[in-house]
Structure 1
Amino acid sequence: MKRLPLAAALAAFFILLVWSVSVRQAVLFLVGLGLGAALAGARFGFTTGWRQLVEQRDPRGVFGQLLLLALAAALAMPLLGAFPELHAALGPPSISLLVGAFVFGLCMQIADGCGSGTLYKAGLGVPLNMGILPLFALGSFLGSVHIDKWLALGQIKPVGLVDAWGTGGALSATLLALAAVGVAVRLWVGPGKPLWDRRWVWGAVVLAGLATLNLVIAGQPWGVVYGFGLWAAKGVQSLGLFDAAGNAFWSQAGNAQRLGQSVLLDVTSITNIGLLGGALWVSARKPADAKPLNATQWAIGLAAGFVMGYSSRLAFGCNVGAMFSGISTGSLHGWIWVPMAFAGTLIGLRVRRRFAF
């Protein structure tokens, strides 16, 4: 699509939101546009950064992510401490989290994208990610349908570091932990490897700023997975295949309300839509290169996308909702998610190599 008609379409959608939904949702759409443009423009791939670290001992992507987490935490935690109406991305440490994060980390390497990666690569026109997107949404919905059974296997209450230790304690502990990870990565890759790349650095700075805007405007951290599950839930319900009243997750007051409303009123959905639009804007200037896949690769990739969606709900988010927003807003579950997802990534990379993705 040419940039001029795309810009006109995005502007018309923004005006529609202002006129018929709310100014807040319209501004969140703009935040989503920025997130998508930054992710796609910088090719800021959480999945790619982990893969480059393991396979090439290239730490630049992971150091970009560490910078992103540090900046976002430095911005978000003081806001959370000062304004109790803002909410952290809290998830309960649980069996569900352990299993979901591990499986997610495995599948994201096969599918070549996490939640945000699937969105922005679909916006860039990458065929596999375009095919994965609806399957991810369906998987996320099914995960939400089953989440109560997974939580029954064992859980503890969510732990918020800002509430437990105060802003100063939570931020200091987070920055020290991120620094420790950086030192460990530096020692593992060995001397002579560059740690920083301009693309990853500017991507981290822009994403941290936009994520903070999202927190302030929406009252909650940036997320991706919930919007996917909501889209699928509304579709399945419209076909008469799902009774939300009989489900533990979707019968909760907030979820039931969103299920009955337009997706344009959901803050996660509107930033997801904006993210797609921002990636489309980048692709209009520089389309993504996509490797042709054979039938086996397509089947495995699509299956991985579906399972990735399911596991993301069990893990209370993806690299954005669980890792980025969890850690940057002081949720213990974000720190549990990372090592489990990284362990899954090590296996996922073997599968990826086995089928020559």
Structure 2
Amino acid sequence: MSGNIRYYSRRKKSKKNQIPIGISVIIAIIAFGIYLTTKSSHLGLYWVIGISFGFILQRARFCFTASMRDPYLTGSTSLTRAVLIAFAITSIAFTAIKYGAHINGLPIPGQDYVVPISLTTAIGAFIFGIGMVIAGGCASGTLMRVGEGFTMQILSLFFFIVGSLWGAHDFGWWKRNFIVKGKSIFLPDIFGWFGGLAVNLIIIGIIYILAVKWENKKSEEI
């Protein structure tokens, strides 16, 4: 017993101090950010946003894959509800931005990205969902875990890039033969600006309530 205690004590003492490494990384991040700012103020801003976003994702363990996967595997819907809250906040913010441009007679930001939706959208989402679960992360989750040093995620990131390049190369064919045959749906065109936002928030709210009920049900089964 005493031998085991001395063994674990030696292991604990031999643990390296990571504070100097962390300080070095912070200094490198700041230095590189200053360098980017000398090239372009936008690059410096993008660098700060990217670092901040990555830090928040890592500390919050925020992952879109987990938000869809956990309800089935563990019964937990905490990440699912977090994603829904994020959707609700961004829906309000983007509606305000778009409506502001609309009432001022300016081009509506992102209007070009209102694309047709059809069965191909559902099929693509299903295939992507399978890939996310097998890879263990979506785009944000993969990037976060690459930063943490997960070698499996490095492999996932490589094929993520390969698949994205392949998809971009063939996108024109898919658009001509499948995507344009769907129907474009822009909720403000159907329900008005405030009506469209209300419908969107109601749908998010219903899914949120169902997520809570699902977690409670799974907890009772356990």
- Greater than 4 Å deviation, 4+ residue runs: 191-194
Aligned residue number for residue 169 of structure 1: 195
Change (3 A) 1:76 1:142: same
Change (3 A) 1:30 1:162: farther
List gaps (5 residues or longer) in structure 1: 195-357
Aligned: 1:60 with 2:78: yes
**In the comparison of the two structures, how many residue pairs are matched?**
193
Q: Contact conserved, 2:75 with 2:218, CA < 8 A, in 1?
A: no
Change (3 A) 1:173 1:149: same
Aligned: 1:146 with 2:173: no
Q: Contact conserved, 1:118 with 1:133, CA < 8 A, in 2?
A: yes
Aligned residue number for residue 25 of structure 1: 43
1:72-87 map, 5 Å: 72-83=90-101, 84=107, 86-87=109-110
Deviation at 1:100, TM superposition (A): 1.6
Which of 151, 164, 180 pairs up with 2:206?
A: 180
Change (3 A) 1:18 1:85: farther
1:67-216 map, 5 Å: 67-83=85-101, 84=107, 86-87=109-110, 89-151=113-175, 152-154=177-179, 155-156=181-182, 158-162=184-188, 164-191=190-217, 193=219
Deviation at 1:157, TM superposition (A): 5.3
Q: Deviations over 1:82-112 (max 9, x none)?
A: 1345326533314542322110001100100
SS at match of 2:178: coil
List gaps (5 residues or longer) in structure 2: 1-17, 102-106
Deviation at 1:67, TM superposition (A): 1.1
- Larger RCO, structures 1/2 (Cα 8 Å, 6+ apart): 1
Deviation at 1:43, TM superposition (A): 0.3
Deviation at 1:191, TM superposition (A): 4.8
TM-score relative to the length of structure 2: 0.77
Aligned residue number for residue 67 of structure 2: 49
Say which structure is richer in helix: 2
Which residue identity is paired with 1:68?
A
Deviation at 1:140, TM superposition (A): 0.5
Instruction: State the alpha-carbon separation in 1 of the partners of residues 98 and 151 from structure 2.
Output: 39
Max Rg structure: 2
Instruction: State the alpha-carbon separation in 2 of the partners of residues 189 and 177 from structure 1.
Output: 19
Deviation at 1:115, TM superposition (A): 0.9
Aligned residue number for residue 14 of structure 1: 33
Change (3 A) 1:85 1:9: farther
